[in-house]
A and B are shown apart, each in its own frame.
Chain A
Amino acid sequence: MRRKLGPLAVHLVLGAYTLLAIFPILLVLYNSFKSRKAIFGSPLALPGPESFSLIGYQKVFADSAVPLYYFNSISVTVTTIFITLLIGAMAAWALTEYRFRWNTLLGIYLAIGIMVPIRLGSVSILRLVADMNLVNTRTALILVYTAQSLPLAIFILSEFIAQIPKDLREAARCDGVSEYTIFFRIILPLIRPAMATVAVFTMIPIWNDLWFPLLLSPGGGKQTITLGIQQFIGQYVTDWNAVLAALSVAIIPVLILYALFSRQLIRGLTSGAVK
């Protein structure tokens, strides 16, 4: 009696859109395993025994340093997350816990970065990086991404730390424990859930970013996977096997990660936006 929209209609619409959402990705994935003839001849068909071919992948792995790019992406992302979480938590702790003259002002100062895109300062960033002799290094990327991720990380961690009962810290102080110990031994373990969330929504934009690798480390073997794939495809634009394989190489790890952690990933990304 409540059902004005029949359940069938609802599933039809949702199902149709879901298909629209995943079909292009699937198409690329399974065509990457087909021979060139099969790709053009029967694009919608799944790879069969005659059409199966790894030629695209062979080219990708031969002509481009995919493992290297992966390594770069991973090291940049992981290092950035680590540093961001550490110094972000430290800053969030100081802002929340200690009363000092410019506390509020500092908070607002750091919050500006949430809304203002860091890319706009790229001209100066590039110059800065060049002056510091850090062009084509992963370090440059790490520093820039850290700066980019800090505002939101600090904001979220601050809210979380504020919820930790005061009694815990007061008791520790009564025991004569130093502030540093309180932070590293008590607070840090307690904010692990928030750190996980921050890690997630920091990770995805960094991994997928094209702009800063393009600007700061376009060569010298320090490309990230996103940039590497873009360069590779730019080079092999007419070689469909190679292109499809390259795309799949970039997609598959993310999909695996997504399959394992989808709930946390979605929650992390959107909680970042809401804050």
Chain B
Amino acid sequence: MAEVKIDNLNKSFGSVEVLRDIDLTIADGSFVVLVGPSGCGKSTLLRTIAGLETVSGGEIRIGDKKVNDLAPAAREIAMVFQSYALYPHMDVYGNMAFGLKFAGTPKAEIDRRVGEAARILKLEALMKRRPRELSGGQRQRVAIGRAIVREPKVFLFDEPLSNLDAALRVNTRIEIAKLHKMLKATIVYVTHDQVEAMTLADKIVVMNKGRIEQAGKPLDLYYKPANMFVAGFIGSPAMNFIEGEIGEVTEKGYSVRLADATSVNFTGNGVRQGHKVTLGVRPEHLAVGGTGDLKLEGRIDIVERLGETGYAHVSTGSGKPIIAEVRGGETGEPGQAVTLTATLGHTHLFDEAGQRIG
């Protein structure tokens, strides 16, 4: 296994810039997830690491080797594709052994590696089957098996769970997490699903429009998002955003006047009166009733009940309805007037440019 270091990477397709100033270190043995909306460049970044795309500027190092000009096979990487990309005309054994055969690996060694991978992934009974005779989940395991037998320095996963149904996705997610621990592999994993990112990653890299918005441990991104994009992307349902303005500024702190005229007091400085800000608070941190530094009055539009948990959509004076998590026993009927509260520690403040304040 090896560390992957990306320095100042830029990539353009013709005149279109798709990756900008990417600086990223992926520690040896860590599980790094590249996450972001469609078109953010995460797959392109993965492909440049793989060697399937050229770079327009910058450097990629795997281990201690600069790999910019090396072919994918020479970089000692292995890739699991979203569509699995299994060779339809070969059976499972053939699919896994294919690359090794061409590398000149002796048959005994091929057998050993394929057998080992099959054992880990529970594919032994399927070795003679063709891809079309396999279910989606089985095909995916074969695709992973094909990657394992290469004994690569880095594993690259390109949205591997997107084509699976919901239940299978959860199971396979756990399998992949276990695989990571067992192989102690360096994994770079691309997904658009932030749940996968949160549960699997040692480090999450949130990307948007070709740039890295924030990279860090999952809970760091959850509790301290660096900007509104990350704040709104991580966490489901998304964070609530309320427009506001800086009111009085004193030495100790400042107040923020929200659109519905309530005020919240913050400590800290670096702001000026009249600045436009946005206050963010997650649905799970809002309580119905109770006390808190943040108080929002409103009326319930609708409550979506998922069982023990539910989400109340509350119209306040501040524009879009606020979503608050409600637990089973609590009441919540449409039309009901409520007060939503949250502690200061659970609020986030973002400036006009969307960057975090404090």
- Enumerate chain A interface residues (CB-CB to B < 8 A): 1-2
Contacts and interface: CB of A to CB of B under 8 A. Distances in A.
Nearest to A3: B71
Nearest to B74: A1
Interface in B79-127: none
Contacts of A2: 52, 71
A2 B50 CA distance: 12
B69 interface: yes
Nearest to B73: A1
B51 interface: yes
B134 interface: no
Q: Is the interface of B mostly helix, strand, loop or mixed?
A: loop
A115 to B, nearest CB: 27
8 contacts: A1-B51, A1-B54, A1-B69, A1-B70, A1-B71, A1-B72, A2-B52, A2-B71
Nearest to B75: A1
Contacts of A1: 51, 54, 69-72
Nearest to B68: A1
Contacts of B69: 1
Contacts, number: 8
B69 to A, nearest CB: 6
Contacts of B51: 1
A1 B51 CA distance: 8
A200 B52 CA distance: 40
A1 B71 CA distance: 5
A7 to B, nearest CB: 14
Interface in B326-353: none
Given A1-B51, A1-B70, A1-B71, 5 more contacts: A1-B54, A1-B69, A1-B72, A2-B52, A2-B71
A1 B70 CA distance: 6
A78 B51 CA distance: 55
Contacts of B72: 1
Give 8 nearest A-B pairs by CB, closest first: A1-B71, A1-B51, A1-B69, A1-B70, A2-B71, A1-B54, A1-B72, A2-B52
A231 to B, nearest CB: 52
A242 to B, nearest CB: 53
Interface string B36-72: 0000000000000001101000000000000001111
A2 B72 CA distance: 9
A91 to B, nearest CB: 36
A268 B54 CA distance: 38
Nearest to A2: B71
Contacts of B54: 1
Nearest to A4: B71
A253 B2 CA distance: 66
A156 B72 CA distance: 44
B159 to A, nearest CB: 22
Contacts of B71: 1-2
Nearest to B67: A1
A1 B69 CA distance: 6
A2 B71 CA distance: 6
A1 B52 CA distance: 9
A31 to B, nearest CB: 43
B118 to A, nearest CB: 30
B156 to A, nearest CB: 16
A205 to B, nearest CB: 35
Nearest to B51: A1
A2 B54 CA distance: 10
A267 B69 CA distance: 40
A1 B48 CA distance: 12
A1 B72 CA distance: 8
A211 B52 CA distance: 54
A34 to B, nearest CB: 46
A2 B69 CA distance: 10
B144 to A, nearest CB: 24
A189 B186 CA distance: 59
